[in-house]
């Protein structure tokens, strides 16, 4: 190979490599905090935010076993969301919250089915999805019992 041709090939490969290394990382389509798209967040009700916070709490509790400060922050956020939603919504709060939790449970079950098809068996992500489904089911049961005791 001629020296000039070798330099051209070398420079082309080097520039291609540099271009690939400089590509930006893809941005997520959903917000990290509660997995709600920013454009939709303005339309979300307090009960839907509370349900999303409950799901996030279940995911973090499985991953970190209730020892992280973020789990404590999520719990405090749940309490404040519950208080503000109860004051603003009144008696229909429990019904709206149960509906929002049911939506989150449906999403969690769908995610679990996707993970089961992808991984199968006892994969850690599948076990986490099972724990989230169990926690959301327990949260729905607790809200139904709370609603019955209030009425």
Give the tens place of pLDDT for each residue, 48-67: 888 888 888 888 888 877 66
State the pLDDT at residue 20: 53
Q: Which of 46-55, 99-108, 113-122 has the lowest average pLDDT? A: 46-55
The maximal CA–CA distance of the chain, rounded, in angstroms, is 89
E-strand spans in 16-130?
none
Tokens of 118: 């992808």
Nearest to 108 by CA among 87, 84, 89, 126: 126
Mean pLDDT of the chain: 77
CA distance 85 to 80: 8
Whether residue 23 is predicted with pLDDT greater than 60 in this model: the reply is no
- Chain-centroid distance of CA 29 in Å reads 12
Residue percentage of the chain with pLDDT more than 90: 25
């Amino acid at each position: 190979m001629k020296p000039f041709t070798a330099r051209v090939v070398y420079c082309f490969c080097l520039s291609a490599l540099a271009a690939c290394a400089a590509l930006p990382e893809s941005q997520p389509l959903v917000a990290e905090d509660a997995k709600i798209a920013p454009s939709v967040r303005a339309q979300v009700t307090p009960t839907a935010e509370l349900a999303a916070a409950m799901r996030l709490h279940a995911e973090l509790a499985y991953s970190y076993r209730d020892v992280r400060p973020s789990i404590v922050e999520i719990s405090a956020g749940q309490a404040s969301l519950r208080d503000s939603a109860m004051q603003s919504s009144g008696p229909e709060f429990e019904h709206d919250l149960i509906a929002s939790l049911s939506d989150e449970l449906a999403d969690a079950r769908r995610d679990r089915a996707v993970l089961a098809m992808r991984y199968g068996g006892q994969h850690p992500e599948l076990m986490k999805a099972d724990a989230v489904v169990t926690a959301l089911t327990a949260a729905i049961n607790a809200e139904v019992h709370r609603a019955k005791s209030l009425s």
